[in-house]
Amino acid sequence: MSKKLAELLFPNVKTTLEDLEKKFPQRNLPQTAVVTRFAPSPTGKDLHLGHLFNCLVASRIAKASNGVYFLRIEDTDKKREIAGSVEAILKTLKHYGISFTEGRSFGGKDFGNYGPYLQSERAEIYQTVAKHLVEIDKAYPCFCSEEEIENIRIKQTELKCPNLGYYGEYAKCSSLTYEEIEEKIKRGEKFVLRFRSPAKAGDRITYHDAIKGEITLDANINDAVILKSDGIPPYNFAHVCDDHFMRTNLVIRGEEYSGTPTSEHIQIFNACGYQVPQYAHNPHIQKLDNGKRRKISKSKDPEASVSFYTRDGYPVQAVVEYLLNLANSNFESWRNANPNEDNREFQIDINKLSNSGSLFDLMKLNDVSKTIIASFTAEKIYELTNEWAKVFAPEFSALLEKNKEYSIKMFSIDRGNVKPRKDIAKWNDVPVLYDYFFDEKFFDIKAFDFGNFEKEDITKILNNYASIYDENDSKDEWFSKIKSICPEYGFSSDVKEFKANPTLFKGHVGDISSFIRVALTGRKNTPDLYEIARLLKKENLKTRIEHALSVLNK
């Protein structure tokens, strides 16, 4: 009867399991090769940081094993699908250096021999497996309406049933006869196909997780829907079919999937006679909130969205290396021992992935990013800053492009030495930290903080400095001139002398240097003042001092 029922339900399905096994044979790979995947739903354009983290881990593990990392788009939920989502996801992953051995590419084209890589194009595969399950009496049609399903849940709630769902005595379609089913189909009644769960209340299922170890949980007792009325499966059944025929042997995903869905997957794998892949459920990336750990969330935390890092201008290398450190805590020591190596040389060890969740620290990311940017050349900083600014700060980009040679010299200050300046953590820091270098920004400054010193002294000192400044002076000569004007205005030319007898002086040479710094930049903290003065050149230096003094003496 089951075979007869299968033909009744799937009259147009002529493909057999044997056909599929031949079409998608076992991969010709080394025995230890990992075949894993990223399987996003096109229901959002903004990738979660956790997804990028899992992609990075999976791609590195697959590559290190000479295996396969493929992209499969799970678009079976058409109601929630967002136009352009797939392209946005692919663009983001490409930006962060995540590449795939096979899958769906830009323009909707497949590359690889185990496609289609879009689930909505794999209906024939799902229906072939579903037909087989009906043939062996492990699946059946259900004609219950949404209202009937809701009434079952209401009744179960009233009876305080420990499990809500479609199972046992509540699975009213599970015992329909062939004749009853045939009659309903003749009347044009729509149906879904349900998996006949082999479990009963109280049954347990155990599997080994590559990260969490042995996991035991309640077995799924629901007769879950494996084909919707349109012949397309929900993700659970699609996963089983796809992972088998794409020959996936390791599934790396978030820990939210480690419970009932995995139980249902294992039941369906077993019912089909397929090898269950190894699961590795990565704990959520977490953050501290009032001293307590919680999952990082896009609804609460801007940094949970990958777009946050693009928008703020974190270099790709910084984000990737920080995530590598979250994946394996020994990455930092590896980086210290291999400062010039490409991070792709670091091999992620799945056995060293945290089973309790990694703690995200934005300050730590900033430190990592500052170190990386400090190693860049001035030319590279210019290029990457301008690339970011074209999209997110076009006015600043215009300044950079108008003054390219000048800008590169600006970025070269305090760089290229043993201890380069670490002031930039992300590209949106640059307009804030360096805008005063450009006259268009400097001459808009409306206030200069010279501290608690007499305006008359500040004015005389700065005018004197402007008159004796020579851009051809060496750094020692330049500083000697600053020291030379100290006594005339009651300032000590030696800081130690001032500290020993502070009442004898109005200030010291450091204060005069600060006057010059503020007058030239509007800031108290800047890169090397000698280099700034040389970059500005004498005429511009004098003009800036005049502007600062005019503002001071208003």
339: preceding bond cis by omega (within 30 degrees): no
Of 252-261, 377-386, 396-405, the one with minimum mean pLDDT is 252-261
Strand, helix or coil for residue 405: helix
What's the pLDDT score for residue 147?
Answer: 95
Residue 72 pLDDT: 94
What mean pLDDT comes out for the span 312-318?
97
Give the per-residue pLDDT at 184: 96
* Mean local confidence (pLDDT), 183-190: 95
What radius of gyration do the chain's Cα atoms show?
Answer: 33
Question: 197-235 burial, b if ≥16 CB within 10 A, otherwise e?
Answer: bebeeeeebebebbbbeebeebbbbbbbbbbbeebbbbb
Q: β-strands 192-195, 204-209: how paired?
A: unpaired
Model confidence pLDDT, tens digit, residues 235-255 = 889 999 999 999 999 999 888
Distance CA 309, CA 314 (A): 5
pLDDT one-digit tens code per residue, 197-224: 999 989 999 999 999 899 898 999 999 9
What does each C-alpha distance from 148 to 406, 486, 538 come to in angstroms? 74, 92, 86
Which residues have a Cβ under 8 Å from the Cβ of 66 and sit 6 or more positions away? 29, 30, 33
Per-residue pLDDT at 52: 94
pLDDT-based confidence at residue 260 (cuts at 50, 70, 90): low
- pLDDT in the model for residue 419: 87
**The two structure tokens encoding residue 247:** 């020959």
What pLDDT does residue 283 have? Answer: 86
pTM: 0.89
Query: What confidence score (pLDDT) does residue 6 get?
Result: 96
Tokens coding 149: 């399903």
Task: Return d(Cα 284, Cα 101) in angstroms, integer.
Answer: 26
CA atoms within 13 A on the CB side of 221: 16
Distance, CA of 367 to CA of 188 (rounded, Å): 65
* Rounded average pLDDT over 503-515: 97
**pLDDT above 80 (res 315):** yes
- Contact in structure between 284 and 254 (CB atoms under 8 Å): yes
The SS3 call for residue 265 is helix
For residue 237, give the nearest of 103, 122, 142 by alpha carbon: 122
Domain architecture of the chain: domains with CATH = 4-11+123-282 (3.40.50.620), 289-374 (1.10.1160.10), 378-442 (no CATH), 455-552 (1.10.10.350)
Q: Is 541 left (phi over 0), alpha (psi -120 to 50) or beta?
A: alpha
- pLDDT at position 111 is 94
| Residue in 167, 196, 121, 139 with CA at minimum distance from that of residue 9 | 139
Quote the CA–CA distance of 59 and 70 in Å, as a whole number.
9
Cα separation of 320 and 274, whole Å?
36
Q: What is the pLDDT of residue 270?
A: 95
Top pLDDT among 521 and 259 is at 521
CA end-to-end span of the chain: 99
Q: What is the pLDDT of residues 351-387, one digit of tens each?
A: 888 888 888 999 999 999 999 999 999 999 999 999 9
What pLDDT digit, counting tens, does each position of 520-553 carry? Answer: 999 999 999 999 999 999 999 999 999 999 999 9
Distance, in Å, from the CA atom of 91 to the CA atom of 68, rounded to the nearest integer, reads 20
Q: What is the pLDDT of residues 90-126, one digit of tens each?
A: 899 999 999 999 998 877 789 999 999 999 999 999 9
- Tens of pLDDT, residue by residue over 267-301, are 999 999 999 999 998 888 998 888 889 999 888 99
Distances (CA, A) of 428 to 123, 234, 320, 370, 409: 47, 42, 19, 13, 19
pLDDT at 131 over 80: yes
pLDDT score for 43: 83
Span 391-414, mean pLDDT? Answer: 97
CB neighbours of 401 closer than 8 A, spacing ≥ 6? 386
**What pLDDT was estimated at residue 354?**
83
Task: Give the span between the Cα atoms of 61 and 351, in whole angstroms.
Answer: 11
Average pLDDT across the chain, whole number:
94
pLDDT in tens, 17-73: 999 999 999 999 999 999 999 998 888 778 999 999 999 999 999 999 999 999 999
> Distances from the Cα of 322 to the Cαs of 69, 326, 354, 362, 369, in angstroms?
22, 6, 15, 10, 8
